[in-house]
Amino acid sequence: MTTAIAPRSRKVRVLATLGPASNTPEMIATLFQAGADAFRVNMSHGDQQSKVAVIAAIRGLEKEFGRPTTILADLQGPKLRVGKFDGGRTVLESGSTFILDRDATPGDATRVELPHKEIFEAIEPGARLLLDDGKLVLRVTDHGPDRIETQVEIGGPLSNNKGLNVPDVVLPMAALTEKDRSDLAFAVEQGVDWIALSFVQRPEDLAEARKLIGGKAALLAKIEKPAAIDRLEEIVEMCDGVMVARGDLGVELPPESVPPLQKRIVETARRLGRPVVVATQMLESMIQSPSPTRAEVSDVATAIYDGADAIMLSAESAAGAWPVESVAMMNSIGISVERDPMHGDRVHFTVMRPDPTTADALSEAAKQIAKTTSATAIICFTTSGSTARRIARERPSVPILVLTPSRDTARRLGLLWGTHAVHTRDVESFEDMVGKAKRMALRTGIAHAGDRVIVMAGVPFRTPGSTNVLHVVRIIGDELKDYS
């Protein structure tokens, strides 16, 4: 069992990516103290063995700081790349013809190998092929089983193994590569809390990952393909959380399309009660600079006003020159935005319509009762975390203290808006529930003598998904007198 400590003063969560600039135990602890609520381990870089010590260091924070830690393992996904060039590079001229084929011979300014047969099977005339993060644009004019003929619309230099994006067709590719399957098995064995699946195109892509995870971690779908937008609601329903992965989304779509899609993804995830992370290039200039641009700060603030559960740092904290300052800046922006008197109104711009269940009705009521009675916190008892997710979906004005006998549940809640999870023993009776709620409110500092708190739970106890009790209590202040 952990010793409860005070929760963060903000409700939005900060997810920090670890890398060469931040993967020592000392730096991970410093990032946590600066405001990181959860840590992303990017399986695209480094080998599995190098991740063992990083994961152990994150878990070590639990003993040091008395708070459950949250680890997200991000799978690389299927990376599409062109082959090699004679001399290592070439230059494609705008207006010229360029061929992609199955021939492994080094390429030149007229052709190169494309080692992905799935693209040859799915491509159609008129489709675009984007090279090197969208810097070069090819338009398909003709194709066959082993050859794709294109016209270069935007040319430029191109070197070996540069990335390829195919935004206009759904590729018949498995979402998990052999590397991903190995990395997933490793991550589950290491006990990570979330598995992020890259380049999801359709809800079926989530099925294999879900089966391989076997309930041992939560599944997060990264929305970075235009095809995913067409079936967004189905994808969100099939996963436990989503990420607005704006990097690849911004390569395959016009940049001006990304902001409205970000809002749509956040709104859909919130409506369906799934945590949503906004990611990529949030404080990009802080890779090299100790302070962000004003536009970057506004971008982060917009995600917070939209009600995103978490905001993520990528290279800023993984490989940049100012990892601690980047996390501290995210923390400061979150605190500042949430202090804005208009924050509550903006967060509730997305209308949440509760499902016709007792749990949803009580969660909606808890938000209103907290406002009407000036309650200090909502305290919920949960085994699976579903009660906490339902309450957080309502975006109440007060923090949510989550008490759970499941360490796994406590850890997974690190990406959920407004929650502070404590791993503690289960309760046996209604009186035990009320007493423990009061004591934990005092121990965490989430409430003090004279404060009202709202308590939610399910009776009979230890029955997942049975939330049916809402109780308003007042803290006397002497509840800890007979407890060490």
DSSP reduced 3-state for 251: helix
Look at residues 326, 245, 232, 228 and name the one whose alpha carbon lies nearest to residue 274.
232
Starting at the earlier edge strand, list the strands of the sheet with 467-474. 419-423, 400-404, 377-381, 452-458, 467-474
What gap in Å lies between CA 200 and CA 186, rounded to an integer?
21
What gap in Å lies between CA 60 and CA 58, rounded to an integer?
5
What gap in Å lies between CA 296 and CA 286, rounded to an integer?
10
Q: Radius of gyration (Cα) for the chain, nearest Å?
A: 24
What gap in Å lies between CA 219 and CA 209, rounded to an integer?
8
What gap in Å lies between CA 136 and CA 19, rounded to an integer?
29
Look at residues 483, 399, 402, 469 and name the one whose alpha carbon lies nearest to residue 435.
483
Pairing of strands 467-474, 452-458: antiparallel
3-state secondary structure 352-395: CCCCCCHHHHHHHHHHHHHHHHCCCEEEEECCCCHHHHHHHHCC
| Amino acid, single-letter form, for residue 127 | A
Q: How many CB atoms lie within 10 A of CB 230?
A: 12
Pairing of strands 128-131, 147-154: unpaired
Pairing of strands 147-154, 136-144: antiparallel
What gap in Å lies between CA 241 and CA 219, rounded to an integer?
7
Q: What are phi and psi of 242, to 5 degrees?
A: -135, 160
DSSP 449-468: TT-EEEEEEESSTT-TT-EE
Q: What is the DSSP letter of 129?
A: E
Q: Which residues of 368-403 are buried (b: 16+ CB within 10 A; e: fewer)?
A: ebbeeeebbbbbbbbbebbbbbbbbbbbbbbbbbbb
Active site residues: 40, 81, 222, 280
